[in-house]
Amino acid sequence: MNWFSLATLSAAAFGIITIIDSHLLARRMPGLREYLLLVGAFHLVYGFVFFPLFPLPPGTGVWTVTVAIASNILRTGGIVIMLYALKKEEVSQVVPVVYTYPVFVAIMAVPLLGETLYYLQWLAIIMVVAGAILVSFQQSSSGSVVWRVKPLLILFGSSLLMAMGDITGKYALNYISSWNMLWVSEFCMAGIFILTSLRPHILRQLANIKQKGSTMAWLVFNEALVPIMLLLMFLALKTGPVSLVSTIVGGSRPVFVFIFAFILSRLFPRFIEWHADGGMLVLRFIAIAMIVGGITMIQLG
């Protein structure tokens, strides 16, 4: 598969993961730290599995490893902010704003990595980002359409961290394999999640989770998808231009989240938070058309 297909599949997997994240955080978990502790345990196991199977290439320098670690710390920081927002906000509004990060990637990739973008590609990136922002508009209780500033600024912080993670990740992938980057990512996520969440009261809260069997089943399924999603993204970053890979991954993720959330809201209304009338649905469909149009321009280019 080429980088475009890898990036699209990664985004589709992310859509499923985010929907389940939202369900677990909003419906089943007592708090964000409890969730991060469980997720961190899974990724620690993955790290120890992949590390001996895929050793670093001979002669890999300390600088390359440092950049790879920094890349995944930045990306993990963005993920933590996004998960915090998912605990409080509707998933279909959080994800589009976070994944405006391709515009930051494009701005940084041209001077830092020497990538070249033509006018049509810049137009495509702008369309994707504009569509992602449009999806984030929300209907207030009075029926008017609003764009909430405070959550937006927090989510843009997450977006910037993810963009910096992609830029530094692209540099590291010039010297190490996608599998190497995967286990570095697993160890970084596990370390951050566990160190920030391992507290006695958190363990007590986890012991009192209701519906433990079904909750753990959803968690196991979700975390099994995460390394697949990450590997597909790293393979795309390694083989394609980071600015365009980030646009495909970041731009199409809100589309998949919206589609999955819309379907689930109709089939299983209690599974996730979803509030949208006919007018908001039309607005979001227009936004998705802009995103898909921009992605199509990139593919044709």
First-to-last C-alpha distance (Å) of the chain = 18
Residues 6+ apart with CB under 8 A from 75: 161, 162, 165, 166, 169, 185
Domains held by the chain: number: 1
What pLDDT, on a 0 to 100 scale, did the predictor assign at position 298? 66
**231-286 residue pLDDT tens:** 999 999 999 888 788 878 877 777 787 788 778 777 776 666 655 556 666 777 78
Distance CA 48, CA 64 (A): 20
The model's pTM: 0.78
Q: Is the pLDDT of residue 22 over 90?
A: no
| Residue-range definition of the domain harbouring residue 110 | 3-300
Q: Per-residue confidence at 47, pLDDT binned at 50, 70, 90?
A: very high
What would the two tokens of residue 257 be? 């989240």
Helices 91-98 & 62-88 angle (0-180, nearest 10): 150
What pLDDT, on a 0 to 100 scale, did the predictor assign at position 63? 95
Scored b (16 or more CB within 10 A) or e, 243-256 reads bbbbbbbbbbbbbb
**121-166 residue pLDDT tens:** 788 878 877 776 776 666 555 555 555 545 566 777 888 888 899 8
Residue 110 belongs to what H/E stretch?
A: helix 102-113
Q: Is the pLDDT of residue 51 over 90?
A: yes
3-state percent breakdown (helix, strand, coil) of the chain, nearest 5? 80, 0, 20
138 has which bridge partners? 146
| Percent with pLDDT over 90 in the chain | 30
Q: Is the pLDDT of residue 115 over 80?
A: no
Q: Per-residue confidence at 193, pLDDT binned at 50, 70, 90?
A: very high
**Closest of 170, 236, 174 to residue 4, by C-alpha:** 236
